[in-house]
Amino acid sequence: MGDEELEFVKEAFATNWIAPLGPHVDAFEKEVAEFVGIPHAAALSSGTAALHLALRMLAIEPGDEVICATQTFSASANPIVYERGVPVFIDSEASSWNLDPERLREALADGAKRGKLPRAVIAVDLYGQCADYDPILAACAEFDVPLIEDAAEALGATYRGRMAGTFGKCAVFSFNGNKIITTSGGGMLVSRDRALIERAHFLATQARDPAPHYQHSSIGFNYRLSNVLAGIGRGQLRVLPHRIAARKANFEFYKNAFRDLPGIEFMPIADYGKPNFWLTCILIEPEIFGATREDARLALERENIEARPVWKPLHLQPVFAECRIFGGNVSEEIFEKGLCLPSGSNLTRDDLERAAGIIRDLHAQAQR
Ligand SMILES: Cc1ncc(COP(=O)(O)O)c(C=O)c1O
């Protein structure tokens, strides 16, 4: 937390706005929309809820296909199944680890040929780096399929000078506890389409029709963000530039610490944009480095330092085993060799040196 969050929370208490609506919610929506450069926003209880509403508004029919990047957290695809849709996964491109635009085109062309185009494409801005939106949007436009941007991890990243969250029909942010800024739990749906965001507000507030009594013509959800948490979000938004700078400093520290280590590659930073450096991730080439990704993770764990493998591709998840995948080798290799290093915004120089030292020692031991 920064310095201002508590003041906003106190204000919520002082004014007795302890509800899933209130002045902080309105202000947080406005401030995120302004920061991102998009006109409309709906503050919600999670990023997953935001994705769910985005899909609900596309009126997916049971069995409809929805395309999704495979290398991501399960929450990117779960809402497809909530809507009784069928996920179709797309491999990563090696140059950004994000949804491969070539494979996407292939999948869309395949859908067109079968007379079963997907209802939407969900692209993910992985680990805080935007997907390659020019070719992705061109493919979506060619087949007239709407794009949803899952920017849950990427608030503050840019693509060709434009902020993450401004691509596609709508986009999603997460303020979950592990994200670059947090409200402990929370999310936001943003869009240029006013009607879409109005509908999201309506559905997220139990779909209450305008009537003095409780009247419902649609099935709604309880998905709004509390005014207390929105207060935290407002304070967090003010420290976002510092958080991005801290995360970037982590990346630069590790880059420098491993510069002479053979067999370590960093997640590539594509030249089309600037990530928010949410997590620093590496690939470990065991034959060259002398140890595997799992050896590195366990060596850190023995010292009580948590590191995790990169997202396991969704097409390899038991729950999505029946789903189709276009490509697959790239994300599978990234998963096999990929490790997310300790990347918190509050890591000290000592913390970073300890973590990097363990990886360096592992390589040195393998040379003996
Ligand atoms: C890529 C991605 N999409 C969606 C989500 C879901 O967000 P939330 O945890 O706020 O529901 C997350 C994170 O949790 C995520 O990393």
pLDDT tens-digit map of 194-206: 999 999 999 999 9
98 CB within 6 A, ligand 1: no
Give residue 368's pLDDT. Answer: 86
Residue 237 in tokens? 């938004």
Q: If you measure from the C-alpha of residue 182 to the centroid of ligand 1, how many angstroms do you get, rounded to a whole number?
A: 12
Q: What integer is the mean pLDDT of 159-175?
A: 98
pLDDT band at 106 (very low <50, low <70, confident <90, very high): very high
Distance, CA 12 to ligand 1 centroid (Å)? 26
CA-nearest of 77, 70, 127 to 104 is: 70
Q: Average pLDDT, stretch 245-272?
A: 98
* Residues 145 and 118: beta-carbon distance below 8 Å: yes
Q: Is 187 in the pocket of ligand 1 (CB under 6 A)?
A: yes
| Ligand 1 pocket member 237 (CB < 6 A) | no
Give percent above pLDDT 70 in the chain.
100
In angstroms, the Cα distances linking 339 to 72, 151, 286 are 14, 21, 13
Ligand 1 pocket, 132 CB below 6 A? no
CA-proximal residue: ligand 1, atom 3 (nearest): 76
Distance CA(305)–CA(2), nearest Å, equals 24
**The ligand 1 atom nearest the CA atom of 49:** 11
Looking at residue 199, its pLDDT comes to 98
Q: What is the mean pLDDT of residues 141-148?
A: 98
Mean pLDDT of 38-59: 97
| DSSP-derived secondary structure letter, 206 | T
Share above pLDDT 90 across residues of the chain, in percent, rounded to a whole number: 99
Residue at token pair 């709906």: 42
**Nearest one of 235, 231, 270, 251 to 344, comparing CA atoms:** 251
pLDDT, tens digit (0-9, with 9 covering 90-100), for 94-105: 999 999 999 999
Q: What is the pLDDT averaged over residues 238-256?
A: 98
Structure tokens at 327: 């490509």
The number of angstroms, rounded, from the C-alpha of 341 to the middle of its chain's C-alpha atoms is: 17
Beta carbon of 76 within 6 Å of any ligand 1 atom: yes
Classify each residue of 338-352 as buried b or exposed e, where b means 16 or more C-beta atoms within 10 Å of its C-beta. bbbbbbebebeeeeb
Question: Is the shortest distance between the CB of 45 and ligand 1 below 6 Å?
Answer: no
Residue 87 Cβ inside 6 Å of ligand 1? The answer reads: no
Q: Is the CB of 290 under 6 A from ligand 1?
A: no
Scanning the structure block, which residue is given the tokens 């304070």? 235
DSSP state of 99: B
H helices present in the chain, as ranges: 5-14, 23-36, 47-56, 78-82, 101-114, 133-143, 194-204, 227-257, 286-289, 293-302, 329-337, 349-367
Q: Which residue has a Cα nearest atom 7 of ligand 1?
A: 47
Q: What is the pLDDT of residues 26-44, one digit of tens each?
A: 999 999 999 999 999 999 9
Q: Rounded to the nearest 5°, which phi and psi values hold at 326?
A: -100, 115
Indicate the DSSP class of residue 183. Answer: -
pLDDT at 295 over 90: yes
Q: For ligand 1, atom 9, which residue shows the shortest CA distance? A: 176
- The reply to whether ligand 1 has any atom less than 6 angstroms from the CB of 176 is yes
Given strand 338-340, what is the order of strands in its sheet?
264-266, 281-284, 338-340, 308-309
Q: Does 47 contact ligand 1 (Cβ within 6 A)?
A: yes
Cβ of 150 below 6 Å from ligand 1: yes
pLDDT at position 280: 98
Question: What is the mean predicted confidence (pLDDT) over 58-74?
Answer: 96
Q: What is the rounded distance in angstroms from the CA atom of residue 52 to the CA atom of residue 326?
A: 24
CB 279 less than 6 A from any atom of ligand 1: no
Q: Cα separation of 145 and 139, whole Å?
A: 9
Judged by DSSP in three states, 205 sits in strand
Please name the residues in contact with 143: beta carbons below 8 A apart, sequence gap of 6 or more. Answer: 108, 109, 111, 112, 117
Closest CA to 104 of 129, 121, 125: 121
Quickly list DSSP for 5-18. HHHHHHHHHHTT--
Confidence of residue 15 (pLDDT cuts 50, 70, 90): very high
179: its two tokens:
């994200």
pLDDT score, position 72: 98
Atom 12 in ligand 1: which residue has the minimum CA distance? 152
Residue type, 258: F
β 40-44/273-274 pair status: unpaired
Q: How far apart are CA 74 and CA 264, in angstroms?
A: 27
pLDDT surpassing 90 at residue 127: yes
Average pLDDT over residues 111-130: 98
Kindly state the average pLDDT of the residues 342-351.
98
With tokens 């494979």, the residue in question is 103
Tell me the C-alpha distance between 80 and 58, whole Å.
11
pTM reported for the whole predicted model: 0.98
Average pLDDT of every residue of the chain: 97
Mutation probe of ligand 1 site: the residue of 51, 73, 181 with most atoms within 8 A of C-beta: 73
Name the residue of 45, 46, 48, 129 to mutate for ligand 1: max ligand atoms within 8 A of Cβ.
48
Q: Is the CB of 276 under 6 A from ligand 1?
A: no
